[in-house]
Amino acid sequence: MKPGYKRIFIVLLAAALLLISVPAMFSQAQPAQKPQAKQAQSVEEETQEYTEEEYDAYEKAVNEKDLDKRGDMLLAFMEKYPQSKLQQYIVTSFLTLMYELQKEKKYDKLESAAERWLKYFPNDLQTIAYAADAARQLGHDQKFLDYGQKIYAVKPDSTLAFLFAETYKKMNNPAKHREWVEKTMTYPEYAGRFDLWMEFVDKFAKEKQFDKAAEFAELTLKAIMAAKKPDTTPEATWRDAVNKTKRGCYYLIGVNYYDKDKFTEAIRELEKSLTVDPKFDMAYYYIGLSQWRLGKVENDEAPLSFAKAYLLKGEFSEQAKEHLEKIYKAIHNNTIIGIDKIYKRAETELAADKGGILSYPHVSASTLRAQALPKAFFV
């Protein structure tokens, strides 16, 4: 893997990923309405439909304050009196119970209660939603996927799609992770989440699948066009991250073209990275290589690019100097007399470009790779 690849992709993720805040999967369900007092009275008046024992069991169950005991008592009533006219009130009470468990964040008990209730009502979406939420909160990933995808099949939702993608990534299932990222990015509210594509840029670059990395770099650039700055992110922070990501993606696409011997296209993309960061040494280095391969040396095109890469003292500085001297000698009778004019011109042009987005010093690829990366700042 080229040294430039090693360095740029750590920078790519550092640029795009700062602080992820996962949105709530489900808005908290509203509690089911408990029987009104007059409803209870009407039940009492219709004693001919219930035995005294049956009504007593119902009343004790719905009025039990202990949530654990109430759940057991409601389910016991369901099992003992499956044909009771009071079942509708038992259903109301159990849905209210699950709401209260969710509200109090008793997710282990909520998961158990929801799963027990689903034995009676296996297709009830509200109960499935309770089970999915509890499973996600408890880190029961497969259960969350199983329940959540039942909901998605009926009510497709962008947040659910995003959470499925994140869960599959956590479970180290790259095929499913990619599938759900692609679905997530089809929703307008996620179209600008360029950090989601960036994960694949980094992944494929590390695996040396540069065609795939470049493909996702293109998708990342398209997502940036749809991206909006989160309200809580400072303008300077947002601009810096977007610029670093764009610079890195253009660079990757350009170097991929270079590897395919498409030197004109490589120069085009690499120059785009310089419009973002005029002090980007690696772009100058590969532009110089591309110009050299195209024979652009007589008018100092390649020598000037190598001179800039050298003066910027980046990772390719010494290699750039070697290439420059080799080209210069080839067209100046095997001497480097006068080469200082090339360096002077390169220095003047670099000084004229006051841009530059980097806020960190040039360090080795291994040092960058060892640094902890921040997460994305999307909220």
* Segment 47-64, tens digit of pLDDT: 447 788 989 999 999 999
Percent of the chain residues past pLDDT 70, beyond the cut: 80
352 Cβ contact partners less than 8 Å away, ≥ 6 residues apart: none
Q: What is the pLDDT of residue 353?
A: 78
DSSP 213-276: HHHHHHHHHHHHHH----TTS-HHHHHHHHHHHHHHHHHHHHHHHHHTT-HHHHHHHHHHHHHH
Residue labelled with tokens 């509203």: 30
Question: What does pLDDT average to over the chain?
Answer: 84
Query: What band does 363 get if pLDDT is binned at 50, 70 and 90?
Result: very low
Instruction: Please say if the pLDDT value at position 377 is more than 50.
Output: no
DSSP 115-155: HHHHTT-TT-HHHHHHHHHHHHHHT-HHHHHHHHHHHHHHS
Quote the CA–CA distance of 211 and 204 in Å, as a whole number.
8
Helix extents (H) in 260-338 = 263-276, 281-293, 301-311, 317-331
pLDDT 10s digits, 262-320: 999 999 999 999 999 999 999 999 999 999 999 999 889 999 999 999 999 999 999 99
Instruction: Please say if the pLDDT value at position 23 is more than 90.
Output: no
Tokens of 184: 């997530």
Instruction: Please say if the pLDDT value at position 16 is more than 80.
Output: no
Q: What is the pLDDT of residue 369?
A: 29
Quote the CA–CA distance of 172 and 159 in Å, as a whole number.
20
